[in-house]
Amino acid sequence: MAFMSNFDIAVSGMIAERARMDVIAQNVANADTTRTAEGGPYVRQNVVFTENTTYRRSPDTSLSAISFRTVLGKHLEELRGLAGRGRTKTMEGVLLTQVVEDQTPPTPVYDPTHPDADEDGYYYRPNVDVAEEEIDMLAATQSYSANLTIFNSLKSIANKALTIGKQ
C-alpha cells in the first residue's frame, strides 16, 4: 500500500532527527572535556544520513535494531502489528548510516597549571562550538516538527478516508 509508505518516510525522519539531537546533546555535554579515555580532548561528532529505499526487514530482525534503537521504532512495529509476525516489509525514508568525527583541530590554550597541559604549557579544548550546536539543535528540532506535522496530516487524511463510507 503506497499510502502507508508515506508514514514510513515521516517516521524515519523523526527517528533520524532524534538520533541527531542525541549526538548534538552529547557534543554540548562534552564541550569542556579536555581528557577522554582515548587521550586528548573530546572530538565533535556529526551524523550522516542517507536515503533508505532498499531496506528489507527479515522476520528475526526488529526495525529498531536495524536503524536507531529508539522507543519510537519499537512502538511503530507494535502499532503496525509487525512485531513477531515474521512479515517482510520494504521501508522508505531516511537512514542514519554513521556517526563521524569532525576533522576540525582542537583549540590550544596556554595554561601551564592545567593538569592536561603538555611540556610547552598548552592544553587542548574540544572542537565543539556550543553556538553552532545550538543552531544544529534548532534545525533538527524544526525538521522533527515538520516530519511530525506530515505524520499527523497523513493520519488525518487516513481517518477522513475511513469515514467517507459512513455518510
Average confidence (pLDDT) over 69-88: 50
**CA 46, chain centre distance (Å):** 10
Residue 71 lies in a domain: no
Query: Contact, 111 vs 123, CB < 8 A?
Result: yes
Residue 75 lies in a domain: no
Residue 152 lies in a domain: yes
| Arithmetic mean of pLDDT over the chain | 81
Domains contained in the chain, number: 1
Residue 13 lies in a domain: yes
Alpha-carbon distance of 143 to 150, in angstroms, equals 11
What is the extent of the structural domain holding 161?
2-55+90-166
Residue 64's pLDDT is: 41
Average confidence (pLDDT) over 111-139: 94
pLDDT at 13 over 60: yes
Instruction: Give residue 76's pLDDT band: very low, low, confident or very high (50, 70, 90).
Output: low
Residue 164's pLDDT is: 84
Q: Phi/psi of residue 56, each to 5°?
A: -120, 125
Query: Contact, 148 vs 140, CB < 8 A?
Result: no
CA atoms within 13 A on the CB side of 124: 15
Put simply, whether the predicted model's pTM sits higher than 0.85 gets the answer no
